[in-house]
Amino acid sequence: MANIISDETIEYIGILAKLELSEEEKERAKKDMSEMLAYMDQLNELDTDGVEPMSHIFPVSNVFREDVVTNTDGSKDTLFNAPEKKDGGFLVPKTIGS
Amino acid sequence: MSKIYETVIGLEVHVELATKTKIFCSCSTAFGGAPNTHTCPVCTGMPGSLPVLNRQVVEYAMAVGIATNCKITRYCKFDRKNYFYPDNPQNYQISQLYLPICRDGGIEIETAAGKKTVGIHEIHMEEDAGKLVHDEWEDVSIVDYNRSGVPLIEIVSEPDMRSAEEVIAYLEKLRLIIQYLGASDCKLNEGSMRADVNLSVREAGAAYFGTRTEMKNLNSFKAIARAIEGERARQIELLEEGKQVIQETRRWDDNKETSHAMRSKEDAKDYRYFPEPDLVPVVISDEWIAQVRSRQPEMREEKMARYQTQYGLPAYDAGILTGDKTFADLFEAATEICGKPKKVSNWIMVETIRLLKENGMDPDQIQFSPENLAKIVRLADEGTVTNTVAKEVFELVFLKDIDPEAYIKEHGLSTVSDEGALRAAVEQVIRENPQSVEDYRNGKEKAIGFLVGQTMKAMKGKANPGMVNQLLRELL
Ligand SMILES: [Zn+2]
């Protein structure tokens, strides 16, 4: 197992994902992630020298919209599943900073 | 001896584009809609929704790139920038990291120190985030996604600026170019133009760069200048004390004129970019670039030259009028109506600028119409009202965009040229000011000016000044 996920890495990934993990959850995540990386290692066995990175499999480009407003008031649908709402907006725990 | 330090500054400028719709959906970008009324599954990141790029965004970005001497990237793509924050319903922002639409440009700026070119590293297209309103009393925030998905371009400069003065010159030039292109209104106070300042200091002449900080929350040119001075002083103080500058993002508080570091947990700059799988690449042909180039409007330098040749304006007037798109548009529209370019120029350069200063307003906050300005010019020029009255009425045009012609009629402000009325007023002034009358008769020519003034005052500024002068000389 070349891919040992350290405690710091799990802590850091938790911060990025805004997740608070219990000790057992951290251990489980460490194990899962090591396995995922081991799978990726299999792909790394391929020689990709000189191969252009690909982000799309279809040879399609330049798909555009014209700049014309066709959407109407979408607030009802947008807020339909909001757990809490106030003054036409989503109500969330106070978030300060930027 | 204390060391001499040099400030090294680069800017990241975000500009909201003036499209009618958002970058990836057909929702309106109009300001002032009730919360979340300009939203759809795409701009609220609903599962299964797919973005489709607004062609106008690409064209505005190309136009700005061409006007700032950038190379246009022929094959460009979008990337996902991942972060969690309630203003971002997708949990990622679609932006461009690897192949931004414009690169390697630059614009020339001029300051007291002379002319120089500030390089533009790149310009990329991206989407804006929603807006959080924090409740004053309860521990909650309200999220409005009307701004989510509004198109932005981010213009990243090279670290070529050395003073607040150069930064302001660069921003003013950039703003003017973008306003002329009609690509954005670039209002700092309303957030349609936002500048983040990257700043470091080093010993003058050094070849290395010092550690830089990034300053956010700068809402005016004055705040930017103060933040630069403040951050320069803070970093020099640290170095003089033998301490280190920490690379961090700082939030400027313009009321307190200090900055504080934004918590590093929120600021974890690990965005795990990857190519955006929902959008296909944009391929830009030579023909497309040529088309956009051929549609570029008249820019400032050309306009300045034309104002001098076509309208016969002095270079000074042409410089001021073209220095702000609002002035230039107002000037051209009002001149078109009344046909008196120099008079229109004077009303903008003197009275309008004075009233803007007095009211603490920027030119783009001008509310009056070119029609009403043209009317004032004509009414004053034809002598329908005196200059004094015209200036007073213009204040109302400036503040409330009243129709000056109707107002003058309604309030009886037309110039009084009725000889009987004027003669009576002049006679009374002569009776009440024997000393001045005697001075005048003893050869003090200046005394007549005082008497004219007194008569104008008695007539509330409405007296025909030529006739008052003539009557005074006749009666004395
Ligand atoms: Zn939308």
Measure B184 CA to ligand 1 centroid, in angstroms. Answer: 20
Q: Where in chain B is the domain with CATH 1.10.10.410?
A: 419-475
Percent of chain B having pLDDT more than 70? 98
Is residue A20 one of the residues assigned to a domain? yes
What is the reported pLDDT for B40?
97
Is residue A39 one of the residues assigned to a domain? yes
Percent of chain A having pLDDT more than 70? 95
Domain span holding position A20:
7-44
Query: Above 80 in pLDDT, residue B429?
Result: yes
**Phi and psi torsions of B401, nearest 5°:** 50, 45
Query: Above 80 in pLDDT, residue A54?
Result: no
Distance from CA of A28 to the nearest CA of B (A): 23
Query: Above 60 in pLDDT, residue A1?
Result: no
Q: If one looks up domain B419-475 in CATH, what number appears?
A: 1.10.10.410
What digits encode the pLDDT tens for the residues B246-282? 998 999 998 888 999 886 555 567 899 999 999 999 9
Q: CA A65 to CA A67: how far, in whole Å?
A: 6
Q: Which residues in chain B are closer than 8 Å to A73, comparing Cβ atoms?
A: 37
Provide the mean pLDDT of chain A: 88
Is residue A21 one of the residues assigned to a domain? yes
The pTM of the full predicted model, rounded to 2 decimals, is: 0.83
- Of A74-83, B352-361, B405-414, B467-476, give the lowest mean pLDDT range: B467-476
Question: Residues whose CB is under 5 A from ligand 1 (ion)?
Answer: B 25, 27, 40, 42-43
CA-nearest residue to B45 within chain A is A78
Burial grade of A96 (CB within 10 A; 0-12, 13-18, 19 or more)? exposed
Mean per-residue pLDDT, B186-193: 89
Mean per-residue pLDDT, B134-154: 92
Query: Above 60 in pLDDT, residue B400?
Result: yes
What is the reported pLDDT for A55?
75
Question: Which of the two residues, A95 and B217, has the higher pLDDT score?
Answer: B217
Q: CA B181 to CA B296: how far, in whole Å?
A: 7
Q: CA B194 to CA B258: how far, in whole Å?
A: 19
How many other β-carbons are positioned within 10 Å of the β-carbon of residue B227?
27
Mean per-residue pLDDT, B350-354: 95
Mean per-residue pLDDT, A1-11: 80
Q: Which residues in chain B are closer than 8 Å to A18, comparing Cβ atoms?
A: 84
Is residue A95 one of the residues assigned to a domain? no
Mean per-residue pLDDT, B346-366: 93
What is the reported pLDDT for A98?
42
Domain count, chain A: 1
A53 reaches B (C-beta below 8 A): yes
What digits encode the pLDDT tens for the residues B12-24? 999 999 999 999 9
What is the reported pLDDT for B268?
62
- Of B30-34, B286-290, B375-379, B411-415, give the lowest mean pLDDT range: B411-415
Measure B27 CA to ligand 1 centroid, in angstroms. Answer: 4
